[in-house]
Amino acid sequence: DQQVKQNSPSLSVQEGRISILNCDYTNSMFDYFLWYKKYPAEGPTFLISISSIKDKNEDGRFTVFLNKSAKHLSLHIVPSQPGDSAVYFCAASASLYGGSQGNLIFGKGTKLSVKP
């Protein structure tokens, strides 16, 4: 049973336009969400995160939106650049032991292709 779902295996976008990557989750205990980017032959790289007490977090061209009632989050990349072409993973975590550490539950990823 997948607790974190990325229903689009791939997405193709023109350079300069907006890329929107979506992620749904089922576990209401999740209270922290992260996006990772992964290039071939490399490990995932942390991109941006959001706590469940917020509904938006922005970092440069990247914005993550969280809709807790719908158990849905999205990553917006504006403007998209060819270097953004990679696999994007959504991940979620629940507070453990009263603290912030815990394993991440990952979606299966969305492959983004940004065409020049």
Question: What 3-state DSSP class applies to 95?
Answer: coil
Question: Does 110 contact other proteins by CB under 8 A?
Answer: no
| Torsion of the alpha carbons at 49, 27, 30 and 67, rounded to the nearest 10 | 50
Cα distances from 12 to residues 77, 84, 94, 110, in angstroms, run: 13, 11, 32, 10
Question: Does 29 contact other proteins by CB under 8 A?
Answer: no
Mask: binding to other proteins, 36-55, rule CB under 8 A, as x and -? x----xxxxxx--x------
Question: Does 104 contact other proteins by CB under 8 A?
Answer: yes
Kindly tell me which of 37 and 63 has the beta carbon lying closer to other proteins: 37
From the list 20-28, 31-39, 65-73, 77-85, the region that binds other proteins by CB under 8 A is 31-39
Quote the CA–CA distance of 5 and 100 in Å, as a whole number.
22
Question: Does 69 contact other proteins by CB under 8 A?
Answer: no
